[in-house]
């Protein structure tokens, strides 16, 4: 047993001696403690953080550029008397269906712009004759006569879809 303990102690001493020998042969370098490089690295890091913060603030608070007012042409070229008359009639419809005929959900008004003229005319005639019940439209339809339906349908069909 004594021999085994002695062998273990000698082996441990040998490992320690070899470790010290390797430790002595390691070249000493103070590169990791170079203050000038560390300061430069720190300044670069601070600059990067500043740029990132500026980008973050730019995303959070975008600068709103004022858009130049674009003059829009007429929605429909009024080149026939039928379209001119339809345009005048449609002014009452703008309240619910909108200027472009795109409808308003708040008033349950459907999108009618660009719809086929024959379809619009048929729906208007059916509403006036009460074949199709629409109490909201009735006050407006009571004022329409004969060709008013065709003129209004022609104008609405020319609105952009």
CATH number for the domain that contains residue 133: 1.10.760.10
**pLDDT interval class at 72 (50, 70, 90):** low
**Which residues span the domain enclosing 117?**
81-158
Cα angle, residue 77 at apex, residues 75 and 83 outer, rounded to 5°: 100
Specify if 105 maps to a domain.
yes
| Residue range 104-114: mean pLDDT, rounded | 84
> For the chain, how long is the longest CA-to-CA vector?
127
Tally of domains in the chain = 1
pLDDT score for 103? 82
The helix-helix angle for 148-158 and 117-128 (nearest 10°) equals 140
| Residue range 60-87: mean pLDDT, rounded | 75
pLDDT score for 108? 83
| Residue range 156-160: mean pLDDT, rounded | 84
Q: Which residue has the higher pLDDT, 36 or 68?
A: 36
Specify if 29 maps to a domain.
no
Specify if 144 maps to a domain.
yes
Q: Taking Cα atoms as reference points, which of 77, 92, 82 lies closest to residue 139?
A: 92
pLDDT in tens, 7-56: 999 999 999 888 877 777 777 777 778 889 899 999 999 999 999 999 99
- DSSP for 74-125, please give it: -SS---SHHHHHHHHHHTTTHHHH-TTS--BGGGTBPP-TT--HHHHHHHHH
């Amino acid at each position: 047993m004594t021999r085994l303990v002695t062998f273990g102690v000698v082996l441990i001493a040998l490992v320690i001696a070899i470790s010290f020998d390797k430790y002595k042969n390691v070249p000493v370098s103070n590169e990791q403690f170079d203050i000038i490089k560390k300061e430069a690295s720190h300044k670069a890091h601070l600059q990067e953080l500043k740029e990132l913060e500026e980008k973050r603030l730019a995303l959070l608070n975008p600068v709103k550029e004022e858009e130049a007012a674009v003059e829009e042409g007429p929605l429909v070229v009024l080149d026939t008397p039928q379209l001119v008359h339809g345009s005048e009639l449609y002014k009452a419809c703008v309240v619910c269906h909108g200027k472009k005929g795109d409808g308003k959900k708040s008033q349950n008004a459907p999108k009618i712009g660009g719809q086929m003229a024959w379809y619009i005319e048929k729906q208007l005639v059916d509403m006036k004759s009460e074949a199709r019940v629409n109490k909201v439209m009735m006050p407006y339809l009571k004022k329409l006569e004969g060709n008013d339906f065709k003129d209004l349908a022609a104008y609405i069909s020319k609105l952009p879809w």
